[in-house]
Amino acid sequence: MTETATSSAPPGKRMLSEQVYARLRNAIMRGDYAPGEPLKPQDLAKEQGVSLAVVREALVRVVGDGLADRLHNRGFAVPAYSDQRWQEIAEARRTIEPVILRMSVERGDVDWEARVRAAHHRLARTPAYTPEEGKYYSEAWSEAHRVFHRTLLEGCGNAVLLESFDRLWTASELTRRWAAHRDPGRDGADEHRRLEEAALARDADTAAAVLARHLTLTATALTDPARRP
């Protein structure tokens, strides 16, 4: 559904569609739906007490976020672990982000150093899980995580590269949550600490290597059959 089409809908329908979209998006992020599970418009409409048209509009938006697939003649479904796009996104991130981080380490000023330290402190002090938000990362931790990674790269001073990071980060948000659940023994806190230390030590080689490994571990958690949810 395009923005123009959505904005031309009656206000009441727009509000309902927004509410259904938000609930559906949050449910997928919480892990209420398993990877590959169908998202049946008729069932969702009945559960939420809205029309089929409202549900379909919300589903199209969720597809646009990369949180669901529109299947040919088979409706909608949560993406599967095996979806090739996750590995393509991971490859893109491993190719781009270490390069940006290297630039950031080389160009960042003292203010950038202070922001990196503050962002890491917030990330380290924010609980990754809360009982009310399901089995995946909490919203507060996810945002602190995003801010830390973006702040690391902001020293590059290149807005176009940072926009590329923003797009890839959004596209990989769901897989990040899945990967953590499939690899609960992973010490992400140590990986983030090492990233901060290497960046602030102005060790571009180590920082880039640590980040590349950090991204690789996330992708591997989705493809390794030994790691079950």
pLDDT bin (cut points 50, 70, 90) of residue 229 is very low
Whose structure tokens read 């390069």?
99
Q: Is the dihedral of CA 141, 147, 153, 159 positive or negative?
A: positive
| C-alpha radius of gyration, the chain, whole number | 19
For the segment 127-152, what is each residue's pLDDT rounded down to a tens digit?
A: 988 887 666 788 899 999 999 999 99
- Min mean pLDDT across 4-13, 154-163, 194-203, 214-223 is at 4-13
For the segment 103-126, what is each residue's pLDDT rounded down to a tens digit?
A: 999 999 999 999 999 999 999 999
Whose structure tokens read 């031309």?
8
Beta strands 69-71 and 38-39 are unpaired
For the segment 194-204, what is each residue's pLDDT rounded down to a tens digit?
A: 999 999 999 99
User: Can you say how many angstroms the Cα of residue 42 is from the centroid of all Cα atoms in its chain?
Assistant: 28
> Residues 87, 93, 95, CA angle at the centre, nearest 5°?
105
The pLDDT of residue 65 is above 90: no
